[in-house]
Chain A
């Protein structure tokens, strides 16, 4: 516990990207957000908390890099971002874990990683509201939650359960991002209003996005990235 607090001491803001629902674009938004912030001269860390399906390294095209060891573990910088992920150790092999084991991995990662002075630590959370989310709440007291959803009623319902939980335990919620918008609807905005949290804007469905995964330079030039920059203005 004390070790973890010490490790997180020099981080100014921790932004946790969550959604409740799977596949809504959390990883892409978290990674793009990191890239944009880093391009603006901030020092940025990115923590991939999805142990069963880590994605950030694929989006950033992190290959052949490893953390360096020195009284802890220093994550390598990829396109200016300090990326920490279990992927360095397990590669593309499966990592089957049960509840407490997930919690243990999380604790170990936080205890060994030396982020150093960091303006923003972006956390890419897996779907659901299990161990990873509860542990972020328990161990990363600086965490501010950025909610990602699609305007589908199925995603919205799962997302709003998560938001209710976050509000109940009084952790800071930055607001909701509506992702993969194809047609204009007011659903997400109205739901945000109903939950009494900020609607941060939308990110359009971008048909060219798939071709930009593993190519951060190209990713930054997409409409998707422009939309993410607009969200950043509101946050």
Chain B
């Protein structure tokens, strides 16, 4: 599952930041999940918990928060969000975007002018919002 690869990335980010801050213990990490990739939170959490076994993150609590995906058309400047688009997306198409969000440019079009030339302004990918540490 792709969630495993994402969890790996998140873990290494947390560890790098914690090291930079000289953390003795990382108590909590808040992770933002952009909705564009339709990440399965259960699988992500399972992957995370599995991967942190025997690492300094074993006891770290994680908080997952969602961010709705937004697009902005470069042709007509319309802004819209994913929920207005998803209905049109089939399973394979969602799957493609799940792996590589930019593939949206193959499957999603501006709902007003039909342009494939749009930017993903919010809700792409997954990132560490902040961490709580003890020094």
Of the candidates A2, A90, A104, the one whose C-beta lies within 8 Å of that of B106 is A90
Interface size classification for chain B: 20 to 34
Instruction: Note all chain B residues with C-beta closer than 8 A to A94.
Output: 106, 116
Of B4, B8, B100, B117, chain A has the most CB atoms within 10 Å of the CB of B100
Q: Would you call B132 an interface residue if the criterion is a C-beta within 8 Å of the partner chain's C-beta atoms?
A: no
Interface class of chain B by DSSP:
helix
B9 contacts A93, CB within 8 Å? no
A3 contacts B12, CB within 8 Å? yes
What's the nearest-Cβ distance from chain B to residue A108, in Å?
5
Q: Would you call A105 an interface residue if the criterion is a C-beta within 8 Å of the partner chain's C-beta atoms?
A: yes
What's the nearest-Cβ distance from chain A to residue B19, in Å?
11
What's the nearest-Cβ distance from chain A to residue B89, in Å?
13
B103 contacts A86, CB within 8 Å? yes
Complex Cα distance A3/B96, Å?
20
A3-B9, A72-B2, A96-B117 known; A112+B105 contact, CB < 8 A:
no
> Which B10-55 residues have C-beta < 8 A from chain A?
12-13, 16, 47
A86 contacts B100, CB within 8 Å? yes
B100 contacts A89, CB within 8 Å? yes
B100 contacts A101, CB within 8 Å? no
A112 contacts B5, CB within 8 Å? yes
Of the candidates A69, A90, A101, the one whose C-beta lies within 8 Å of that of B1 is A69
B105 contacts A3, CB within 8 Å? no
A69 contacts B105, CB within 8 Å? no
